[in-house]
Structure 1
Amino acid sequence: MQKLNFKRTIRTNILILKLMGLWPEDDNTYTLNLYTMYAFITIVVIMGGHNFFQIINICFVYKDLEALATTIFITSTEVLVLVKVYFFTQNIGRLKNLLSLLKKDVFQPRNEKQMELIEPTLDFWKNVHRSFMFIAVSTIVVQSVNKNQLPFAAWYPYDYTVTPFYELTYSYQVIGMWYIAISNVNIGTLFYALLTYIVVQCDILCDDCKNLTNERSSFSQRLVSCLKHHKEILSFSQNVNDLFEMVILGQFVTSTVVIATTLFMLTLVDPLSEEGFVTVLYAIAIITEIFIYCWFGNQVNLKVR
């Protein structure tokens, strides 16, 4: 039976990460080359700069409670994305090594039956990735359509209300928003993919255990194989936890701040107005992101019981 290439499942995810400057070629990490220079521009100049000017703006609006809440509302989530990107790039080598482990025979489906068993789970992840990408792109398009107004409140050391500074600043914010949103989605869905791989490995192991033969020699051999597989799954899941634990902690802390800020903002605006509607939708998006993390984690928890 032909080996299953698990990385092929996430090839679209990896391609997008490459375009964002977050996935060096092959099994390499960041070295002194053109791609690293491109990554520096996207991460530091575009994403980092976009966040920097928004944070500086807080110093000028802190006396206006509504403006301050609005700024924190958006900026906190974007800063979290930068934190995610930092930990992601710092651990890119370990992450690639982790994915390469899936090529080992112990992680491979044994037959066509097991292939059919795990396909629905892998397809579900693909649908989650497509859905999140659609939501992210739609949000960027809607947020970008502002007449005579920048998408985000920020401070700049020049008058951005005059041509051509307005057009350049507008483009800079849209590009920054694009990189931040798409990076956030694809880092998150890659983590979901790793949890999905743990789930399908548990399915394969359970199927192997159900089909242990009664013949003494074959039974002993297969039992040892199952024990080795179980040990490899535990090691893989621990590595996934070590890679993403700080990111998940940051996600929960930031989401708590954003949800609290959202509830405060709803006291300042009419919940039935356009601004109130957008605020509620944003809060739902944050809650959904937390829910998806918990849902995939719960799936792993259910499988190991």
Structure 2
Amino acid sequence: MGFQYAFGVCHTNLKIVGLWPGSINSKFNGIIPVLLLTITIFIMITFVTMAQTTKLLMIWGDLGLMINNLSTANLPITVVIIKTILFYNYKRELGMLLSSVINDWNADKTKGEVINMVRNAKTTRKLSFICLFLGMGSVNGQLAVRISQELDILPGQINKREPMLISYFPYDYKPSPIYEITWLFQYLGAILATLIYSGIYCFFVGLVLHLRGQLANLRFRLETLDIDGNKANHRKITKKIGFIVERHNILNRFAKEIENVFNGIFLVEIISCTVLICLQLFLLVTLISDDNKDINVPILQIVFTVTYVMHVGTHVLISCYVADKLQDESSAISQSAYNIQWYNMASQNSKLLLMIMQRSEKPLKLTAGKFCSFSLLLFIQILKTSGGYLSMLLAVKEKI
């Protein structure tokens, strides 16, 4: 159990679409990922983004259809394409971060340090499966809703043999097998976008939790320093504290690199997440509103909408949660350095401890575009903002 256990789900997701950073190590292996990534982006743009954007212009003015078009796939997959480009631009830096993680797993460790790293690896794997499950549930939920509408099991689709998503194609897609092929490529585009969306989140979560584990190991080394006041022991203590200071500096640089890579990606994500939660909640309120009291409530569509909101919200919640844990762990190092018996140390060792405390004064924070720090408070603010936008949309709907 180690690196592959923690990053296994993420590795599979991103390797399928050609985004796994490790593939840059070989020129031969580099051809296949680029080809896979090109095909993935082509399918997403051609069969989802362009087709839905064209349809959006055609239905402009119909609030319900516009929101359905934007929130179901158009806006999410457009955001995924932007995030894909940003992520790919940092592929070399991400490969270096992965190499650092692998080196940490291969380095000599105490039993306690191994247990701590395994605990964080298990958490990473569990959160990765949650992200992937909700993502696939959303895509297949939309598929089930559309099939039910085509078969007249659910209301909401007057014209038959329409694409899976609200889209326009410049060809006659209703005859078989063109109709089935169009559905297949739209479904495939949604699946590939989900793999990228969840994969990037899992990658971020894995890096942050690994960093948290390394900080915890460093804190344990501080707390277990043997301070006995023996002058002959000072040199040994100096060597141990010197290692901790150097390691702490390396981990701070690791955190800075994560921040540099992901702050732009998550700025786009925070903005889109706020809008998507608002739009999906609007559709949910519309489905169960009094306007539909004479129609059977479409349970399957409500389940899909709830799953989709959970899918978008849970990803952001997980990122805020792990960033909060990282911040707490980085602050704890300063307290641990203060609590040890520094008064029994040589002045040189006390100064080294002071360096650790000064570096830990400002906890490690991960931001979205340098504007806001990831934390549970940020997640609450996103929900509040989405609620404000929802109130505005409902007011606009009442006036139409």
TM-score (norm 2): 0.70
Q: By how many angstroms is 1:292 displaced?
A: 1.0
Q: By how many angstroms is 1:28 displaced?
A: 4.5
Q: Which residue of 2 aligns with 1:16?
A: 13
Cα pair 1:29 1:92 within 8 Å, conserved:
no
Equivalence map 1:33-48=2 (5 Å) = 33-43=31-41, 45-48=42-45
Specify whether residues 109 and 204 from structure 1 end up closer, same or farther in structure 2 by C-alpha distance, changes over 3 A only. farther
Specify whether residues 105 and 80 from structure 1 end up closer, same or farther in structure 2 by C-alpha distance, changes over 3 A only. closer
* Partners of 1:276 and 1:9 in 2: CA distance: 34
* Partners of 2:212 and 2:27 in 1: CA distance: 28
Secondary structure of the corresponding residue to residue 10 of structure 1? helix
* Partners of 1:303 and 1:26 in 2: CA distance: 32
Q: Which residue of 1 aligns with 2:52?
A: 54
Q: Which residue of 1 aligns with 2:381?
A: none
Equivalence map 1:284-303=2 (5 Å) = 284-303=310-329
Equivalent residue letter for 2:38: F
Equivalence map 1:197-216=2 (5 Å) = 197-214=210-227, 215-216=233-234
* Partners of 2:27 and 2:275 in 1: CA distance: 34
Q: By how many angstroms is 1:103 displaced?
A: 4.5
Specify whether residues 261 and 12 from structure 1 end up closer, same or farther in structure 2 by C-alpha distance, changes over 3 A only. closer
> Which range moves more in the overlay, 290-299 or 103-112?
103-112
Residue-by-residue CA offset, 1:72-102 (whole Å, 9 max, x unaligned) = 1122111111111111111111100121123
Residue from 256, 260, 264 that aligns with 2:274: 256
Q: By how many angstroms is 1:267 displaced?
A: 4.5
> Which range moves more in the overlay, 252-261 or 101-110?
101-110
Cα pair 1:57 1:154 within 8 Å, conserved:
yes
Cα pair 1:13 1:190 within 8 Å, conserved:
yes
Residue from 175, 199, 202 that aligns with 1:189: 202
Q: Which residue of 2 aligns with 1:140?
A: 139
Equivalence map 1:117-266=2 (5 Å) = 117-145=116-144, 146=147, 147=150, 148-214=161-227, 215-266=233-284
Q: By how many angstroms is 1:17 displaced?
A: 1.3
Q: By how many angstroms is 1:13 displaced?
A: 2.0
Equivalence map 1:262-277=2 (5 Å) = 262-270=280-288, 273-274=298-299, 275-277=301-303
Specify whether residues 266 and 104 from structure 1 end up closer, same or farther in structure 2 by C-alpha distance, changes over 3 A only. closer
Q: By how many angstroms is 1:34 displaced?
A: 4.3
> Which range moves more in the overlay, 249-258 or 210-219?
210-219
Q: By how many angstroms is 1:149 displaced?
A: 4.6
Q: By how many angstroms is 1:218 displaced?
A: 1.2
Q: Which one has the largest radius of gyration?
A: 2
Higher relative contact order structure (alpha carbons within 8 Å, sequence separation ≥ 6):
1
* Structure 2, unaligned runs of 5 or more: 151-160, 228-232, 290-296, 332-400
Specify whether residues 99 and 285 from structure 1 end up closer, same or farther in structure 2 by C-alpha distance, changes over 3 A only. same
Q: By how many angstroms is 1:52 displaced?
A: 1.7
Specify whether residues 105 and 222 from structure 1 end up closer, same or farther in structure 2 by C-alpha distance, changes over 3 A only. farther
* Partners of 1:236 and 1:16 in 2: CA distance: 24
Specify whether residues 37 and 103 from structure 1 end up closer, same or farther in structure 2 by C-alpha distance, changes over 3 A only. closer
Equivalent residue letter for 2:172: D
Equivalent residue letter for 1:211: T
> Which range moves more in the overlay, 282-291 or 239-248?
282-291
Specify whether residues 42 and 64 from structure 1 end up closer, same or farther in structure 2 by C-alpha distance, changes over 3 A only. same
Equivalent residue letter for 1:192: V
CA RMSD across the alignment: 2.4
Equivalence map 1:72-151=2 (5 Å) = 72-74=70-72, 75-104=74-103, 108=107, 110-145=109-144, 146=147, 147=150, 148-151=161-164
* Partners of 1:219 and 1:54 in 2: CA distance: 65
Secondary structure of the corresponding residue to residue 161 of structure 1? coil
Cα pair 1:30 1:36 within 8 Å, conserved:
no
Secondary structure of the corresponding residue to residue 244 of structure 1? helix
Say how many residue pairs are matched. 301
Q: By how many angstroms is 1:160 displaced?
A: 1.4
Equivalent residue letter for 1:233: L
Specify whether residues 132 and 21 from structure 1 end up closer, same or farther in structure 2 by C-alpha distance, changes over 3 A only. same
Secondary structure of the corresponding residue to residue 162 of structure 1? coil
Residue-by-residue CA offset, 1:102-155 (whole Å, 9 max, x unaligned) = 345699463112111222121011111122222323333333331445321111
Cα pair 1:152 1:173 within 8 Å, conserved:
yes
Cα pair 2:23 2:30 within 8 Å, conserved:
no
Q: By how many angstroms is 1:19 displaced?
A: 1.4
Specify whether residues 11 and 262 from structure 1 end up closer, same or farther in structure 2 by C-alpha distance, changes over 3 A only. closer
* Structure 1, unaligned runs of 5 or more: none
Cα pair 1:136 1:181 within 8 Å, conserved:
yes
Deviation beyond 6 Å, 4+ runs, structure 1: 29-32
Cα pair 1:151 1:170 within 8 Å, conserved:
yes
